[in-house]
A and B are shown apart, each in its own frame.
Chain A
């Protein structure tokens, strides 16, 4: 058991959103706020009290805390190089996905709890996209389980990179899939526009319109944690086991920075999708996962045998 991974993920949240905003600012010809500005905003929210509407119930008050803790719990599954996460057992990636889903479920019912017609709309969109993105994640992890012959995050990542060139190609494809999953799950471009002020076009933001103060701070910080968590998953594809910490930590940080920059660049140079194109886009991610699955079948020889 090693908490280096968790500490690194938390360290990443300090600069991750700042880098995205800075990249977007620079690319649109502005100077932009400091790297730590998003974090300062969250800190400001943490020092505020929350306002609750009279029509909402207990669900609305506890949901942000449950959401936040579900993300924290999910992070404890993530291994770091050759050390396992805080929690590690067979098929832990299934548990990982559903711990995240539990948090999301509470956010969805809490937004329905407000009784606003906007938030119901956002909840329905969020539920749909999470549902569509799920197969992509499971096919991806299932393929790796097949490739390595192991069943947990830690063992899968530890035994990776010992195959042929095909497995490196699979690694790059997998990183791509995780990036898209992270963008979808975090409601970023091109699926959702986090900057918009137009309630009718929002997905995630419209669900949290009624949240304020400390609760809003928790939700925003949980989004940062989620980004860093997916970044850590990507980094794990490139952390060759057995390397010393002075290699693996810079690789980890480097991958996270690259990931943040990619997000910033994507968000600068394209328009977001029309809402009804989003499912197609997410299905495309699932098909890339299937491609990885086929690649793995080739590598392991199971395809020919069948």
Chain B
């Protein structure tokens, strides 16, 4: 008996239309759906409702471009068999449900805290008493890094268990950045404030998270964004991808002490983020994307300098990258370092670059296209070795691909509709989901509205949520001195995970 409802990306469904299953049936159905390789879980969360907990599981089918939604109601004090026991990709979702609502799992292998939310069920679970994995042995030693990062970026604690220079195990403890983002979406009633929260979920994914939020909001309000809005959102997403990927290449060069690459890629990133400044007055693209409107319409006067910018950028970029990829000392550091196999990546459910590097074609731009991507025939960049060099190559090829996308887009800029429809308010009792391919990978926002159309639940999932575990697996059996370059090659978000 299969009971679920299937919807497209950026669409809504009435809460009462989501089939309610027994927990055991939900488990069985989800596991059987995931046996299809083109399916993966995009979100699985609990939502408290009248002394009970409603579990909502969203599984995306990449081949059929549909998202399967199903749910179950459980009591707060129940002890349940875990999904994780059958499919590891659920481990963080269930840890989160356990942490937030105190649901116990009988066979979860790794039931540890995730991010220490203020409203957590067990107030005794604190950041200082995290139950680290340990090996009792005279031969191995532990190295603890952080929570203060050497480059003071964001806090996170990394605990290595090493045999000499070799890493046997890495455990990553996050949660230091928890700000209660999801709760803030509910507390503040103002759309502008909520958009600001979306912009601040992860500072390097402003366009990604904001697009996810406004698409979700517009679908809750039953508002069809006109071409012009879709166009500028897609353009912002691609510009962000180019800027961050270029910056990452520069940072990778810094980590392997290749000064020339570090300097040149660093310089190349600047004109791209400066273009954002020119377009909307902020180098990170804040203020650009708004639900139902666009304060900074994209015109031909903005298109021409962008075309010139990329003509210059592409020439220098290719020259530098050719130099970079032919240097033996660079390749010696990148190749076969930090490998994640396809089996590992599939079992833990990685997304974005962390999936594409190991031969998993997971790209929302193809599988669940939104905005302008619906008009494109996008081909994701896929690599197969899963090492640092694969992630580097993906960055380079995606940059060139994005430049091509932008060139094609600005050939025909849709005119701004001055008399566009006003945005109304969200309809009551709706469930909405929005998937966006940010530069790091799949971003998923889910929202539930209450009786009078107020937001009653908001769920954010940054791609880093899945991918941190991939980093922990990648560094196993590598040298501890290769950890920084592995870490940088994933470039995961701390605040995106901690929310």
Residues of A within 8 A of B (CB): 24, 27-30, 117-118, 120-121, 189-190, 193, 195-201, 267-277
| Chain B residues with CB below 8 A from A276, complex form | 165, 479
A274: which B residues are within 8 A, CB to CB? 332-333, 337, 479, 481-482
Q: Given A118-B143, A121-B143, A268-B259, do A275 and B330 touch, yes or no (CB 8 Å)?
A: no
Number of A-B residue pairs, CB cutoff 8 Å, is 85
Does B178 reach chain A (CB closer than 8 Å)? no
- Residues of B near any A CB (own CB < 8 A): 141-145, 150-151, 165, 253-260, 262-264, 267, 327, 329-330, 332-333, 337, 479-484
Which of B150, B255, B264, B329 interacts with A270 by CB under 8 Å? B329
A64 to chain B, nearest CB (A): 22
Minimum C-beta distance from B408 to chain A (A): 32
Q: Which of A118, A195, A272 has the most CB of B within 10 A?
A: A272
CB proximity of A43 to chain B, nearest CB, Å = 26
B145 and A267 within 8 A (CB): no
If A117-B141, A200-B483, A275-B165 touch, whether A28 touches B333 (CB-CB below 8 Å) is no
- Taking CB atoms, residues of chain A closer than 8 Å to B258 are 270-271
CA gap between A270 and B332 in the complex, in Å: 11
Which residues on A sit within 8 Å (CB–CB) of B479?
Answer: 274-276
Task: Kindly state the separation between the CA atoms of A270 and B145 in the bound complex, as whole angstroms.
Answer: 28
Q: With A and B bound together, what is the CA distance between A118 and B484 in angstroms?
A: 14
Q: Which residues on B sit within 8 Å (CB–CB) of A271?
A: 253, 256-258, 327, 329-330, 332-333
Can you give 21 A-B contacts (C-beta < 8 A)? A28-B262, A28-B263, A30-B263, A117-B141, A117-B142, A118-B143, A121-B480, A198-B151, A200-B480, A200-B483, A268-B260, A269-B260, A270-B330, A271-B256, A271-B330, A272-B256, A272-B257, A272-B333, A273-B333, A274-B332, A276-B165
Q: Which 8 A-B pairs have the closest CB atoms?
A: A28-B263, A193-B257, A271-B258, A198-B484, A272-B257, A275-B481, A271-B256, A271-B329
Query: Is the CB–CB distance between A200 and B267 below 8 Å?
Result: no
- Which residue of chain A lies nearest to B152 when distances are taken between CB atoms in the complex? A197
Contacts of B260 in A (CB 8 A): 27-28, 268-269
In this complex, the member of B253, B329, B330 whose beta carbon has the largest number of chain A beta carbons within 10 angstroms is: B329
A277–B150 touching, CB < 8 Å:
no
Q: What are the residues of chain A within 8 A of B483 when measuring CB–CB?
A: 200
Q: Verify B259–A117 contact, CB threshold 8 A.
A: no
What CA separation (Å) do A277 and B151 show in the bound complex? 26
Q: Chain A residues near B141 (CB, 8 Å)?
A: 117, 120
- Structural contact, A190 and B329, CB atoms closer than 8 A: yes
Q: Are the C-beta atoms of B484 and A29 separated by less than 8 Å?
A: no
Rounded to whole Å, the gap between the CB of B134 and the closest CB of chain A is: 14
Least CB distance, A22 to chain B, in whole angstroms: 13
Shortest Cβ distance from residue A31 to the other chain B in the assembled complex, whole angstroms: 12
Q: Which residues of A contact B327 (CB under 8 A)?
A: 270-271
Residue among A120, A199, A274 with the most chain B CB within 10 A? A274
**Bound-complex Cα distance A273 to B256 (A):** 8
Min CB distance A28 to B, Å, is 4
Given A199-B145, A200-B145, are A29 and B267 neighbors across the interface (CB < 8 Å)?
Answer: yes
B326 to chain A, nearest CB (A): 12
Which residues of A sit under 8 angstroms from B264, Cβ to Cβ?
28-29
What's the least CB distance linking A55 to chain B, in Å?
Answer: 15
Distance to closest chain A CB from B172 (angstroms): 14
Quick one: which of B145, B150, B483 has the most chain A CB within 10 A?
Answer: B150
Determine the distance from Cα of A249 to Cα of B330 in the docked complex, in whole angstroms: 39
Q: A29 to B151, alpha carbons, bound, how many Å?
A: 23
A267, B259: Cβ atoms under 8 Å?
yes
A195 touches B257 (CB 8 A): yes
- Provide the bound-state CA to CA distance between A274 and B166, in Å: 13
Complex: A193 Cα to B262 Cα, angstroms: 14
For B255, the chain A residues whose CB sits under 8 A away are 196, 198, 201
- Pair A27/B150 contact, Cβ less than 8 Å: no
Separation of A118 and B256 alpha carbons in the complex (Å): 19
A120–B254 Cα gap in the complex (Å)? 24
Q: How far is the CA of A275 from the CA of B337 in the complex (A)?
A: 12
Q: How far is the CA of A132 from the CA of B172 in the complex (A)?
A: 35
Q: Which residue, of A197, A200, A272, has the highest number of chain B Cβ atoms within 10 A? A: A200
Q: Smallest distance from the beta carbon of A208 to chain B beta carbons, Å?
A: 14
Is B150 touching A198 in the complex (CB atoms < 8 A)?
A: yes
Are B257 and A277 touching (Cβ within 8 A)? no
Question: How many angstroms from the CA of A199 to the CA of B482 in the assembled complex?
Answer: 11
Query: How far, in Å, is A114 (CB) from chain B's closest CB?
Result: 14
In contact, B259 and A24 (Cβ under 8 angstroms): yes
User: What would 18 more interface pairs be, CB under 8 Å, given A29-B267, A271-B327?
Assistant: A27-B259, A28-B263, A29-B264, A117-B144, A121-B480, A196-B257, A199-B145, A270-B327, A271-B258, A271-B332, A271-B333, A272-B257, A272-B333, A274-B337, A274-B479, A275-B165, A275-B479, A276-B165
Task: Contact check, B150 vs A272: say whether CB atoms are below 8 A apart.
Answer: no
| B255 to chain A: closest residue by CB | A198
**Of A28, A117, A201, A267, which contacts B484 at CB under 8 A?**
A201
- A120 to B164, alpha carbons, bound, how many Å? 11
Rounded to whole angstroms, the CA-CA distance of A121 and B145 in the bound complex is 13
Q: In the bound complex, do residue B145 and residue A273 qualify as a contact, i.e. CB atoms below 8 Å apart?
A: no
Residue of A nearest to B256 (CB): A271
Contact A199–B150 (Cβ < 8 Å): yes
> What is the CB-to-nearest-CB distance from B387 to chain A, in angstroms, rounded to a whole number?
13
Q: Give every chain A residue within 8 A of B332 (Cβ-Cβ).
A: 271, 273-274, 277
Query: Which chain A residues border B329 with CB–CB below 8 Å?
Result: 190, 270-273
Give the Cβ gap from A269 to chain B, nearest Cβ, in Å: 6
* Residue of B with least CB distance to A193: B257
